[in-house]
Structure 1
Amino acid sequence: MHTVLIVDDETRLLQSIEAGLASYNDRFDVLTAVNGREAIEIFQREKIDLLVTDLRMPVMDGFELLTHVSVVYPFLPSIVMTAFATPEIEEKINNTGISKLLEKPVEFERLAEAILDGLQQEGKEGSIAGFSLANFLQLLSLEQKTCLLNVKNNHTDGYIYLEQGEIAAAIAGEIKGQEAFFKLLACDNIRITFRKLPQKKIVKMIDKPLMALLMEGMSRIDEAVQKSGVPSAPVVEVESSPATVQETSDVIPEQHHSGGEIMGKLEDTLGKLRDIEGFMAAGVFTPNGEMAGQVNVANLKLAEVGSLANDVLLKAQKATDVMNVGRGQVVHIEAPKAHIIARCLNEADDFSQSQAGKAHIHLIMLLAKDANLAMGKIKLESLIHEVAESFR
């Protein structure tokens, strides 16, 4: 249930607003305050999802309250009620980044409509659960996305704002900036939800590149685990020099199951990709190009395609080595009729080698030209670690 805080120094008006909004009590709860200072005290005790405030109030007026909220709760939608909507007032309000301005006297239906609109923050993309935040951010970075994410679990609720694929701001409770980002990165069992971008401009808090943030965040998690001696929650590793393809690798992981069992397990795992809109085929390959399992709904010659994709991945990794930017781990080929995505995962201590007991695989996926590419990449990244279990 959402909670809306309404601030006005006219107690009778507050009472009438509460009564007028009573028919919406199945959509949101209403709390009230008579000035900005009282509102801030409520913010400290309660989780507020939307603020409605008057401007002219004693003790602390609406402008001071909005300024405080824009700094401490930069992603909170806000609505202003005022009987003095002059151009100067409107300009001053806009500088605080409010979502909507309503002139007094406010009709209850119009106010309710504005509140419901402000609470409708979830984007069309919906929610994603059970996925590594680090990997998800890397996918958004690849797509150079500008978006606002709500990251939460049972103990933490925060936001991460990306601008053109780079982290620009983060907040977790009262913590802001890089420290908030590191706190969210360390959370387990998270749910990631896309939120609509607020009309107000989000102040940039973070300048460090995403990969540098991820590396520092993972380093902090490792240090915390070593100090506590307690294993951390499962976190997908972020590699500064991703896995490479070894052209002459002949190291094969020790098998603890029969080939039939492994093949069946691989096909069951790969079958989860069928839900992707526009999915055509996917296959698992060894570093030297031998196919270990596949799901093929488009009757493609996947063994040949996979072998060629392996070659492309190898050349791309060699090229990134020459460029001195670290070894690449993903190749995306956009062809006239399909997308071909090749992903390398190497758990060896030396990413240029295969190592017994550690997975070194290539996962190749083909999607139709008009497929849901973003969801395809997300699912591919999520499943590759599940596939790797059969190769350790």
Structure 2
Amino acid sequence: MMKYVLIVDDEEQLLLTMQAGFEPFKDRFQVLTAHNGKEATSLLASEHINLVVTDLKMPEMDGFELLAFIKNNFPEIPAIVMTAYASPDVEKRLTQSGLIRMLEKPVDFEELTQLILSLLEHESTGGVLSGISLPSFLQLIEMEQNTCLMEIKDASGQQGLLYFKEGRLYDAVCDKRKGDEAALHLLAMDKVKIRFRSLPSKQLKRNIETSLMNLIMESTRLKDEMASTSDQETVLDDSPPLGATDEDDLLKSEKGDDSMAELNEVLEKFKTVDGFQAVGAFSPNGEMVAECNVSGLNLAELGALANDVLLKAQKTTEIMNVGRGQLVHVEAPKAHVICRCLNEATDFAATASGRAHVHLVLIIDVDGNVAMGKMKVASAMQEVAEFFR
């Protein structure tokens, strides 16, 4: 039976080039083309398409809306995405955690050909061709720095909203859940349908600081946990949101007040640094756990912002393929802000049980002893880590 591959791109010349290039393979598959998502949906409805190759940025109906249409109506059809923004790290994460294949523009024609043949052969030999997963879809939005409002709905009719601004997950709502908790619940849903809604007229406040990758991994962990305890009454709603991390729970419940006092004693040692203003220990999502503050600064707010800068810097260094950065120093007119990360997990983007993952934020006067401050952060980090394991 003849296979059909649908190629979607708004560049006419690219479509013509691909049609001509695939001519030698006409006995193995036929090529259909569309200039945007709207044309593609018509072909998907009228033709038996086995594989879709699509660009993301197109007029009328872009690649994201097309992928959502495929997921909702033809979940068995695999997709190859052509993008100009694929870093090796992002490509690896998407192909491992999801079901979207990616190729960087300008596309290597031989590589595309081999990928198409491989996927079609997989189908012919009885292999299972899976469509697009929600985590993969969201990582594409993050990678392309898209701004959108998405409605997620599962087979039972439960639904919620995810709001992205320039590729960053800003907020989520699902029933009475908000922020991290709502996002986790939506990510844990099975067999969802995706619909894009009109952007809100007013600016939305950011209620999610946790990285998308951490949310995806945490939702996967919760699903696995539920599956392994299916003989017990386990409800996702009763699972703590990612904002209440294992480190925080240990400090607040198991270790108790004595441990908090000991942690505060460690932070008190920073007072010996010339120009010291404040220091705080933060969970990876920016929640302050403990502080020593002699300046009157709102360290919880300031530290959360510094934490965000650190996460952005870490993401940038990963894209640059120079490893994950661990320290950020901001020299401002009125103060030095030093933010340091310690993550004992093998995967630096994750938080592993029993392993410390903590951020320290130190504020020093503009004329303070920065070198001593950095040395103090480095030496105190291991002491602080004890309270986060």
Q: TM-score range by the shorter chain?
A: 0.3 to 0.5
Q: Which has the higher contact order (CA 8 A, sep 6+)?
A: 1
Larger Rg: 1
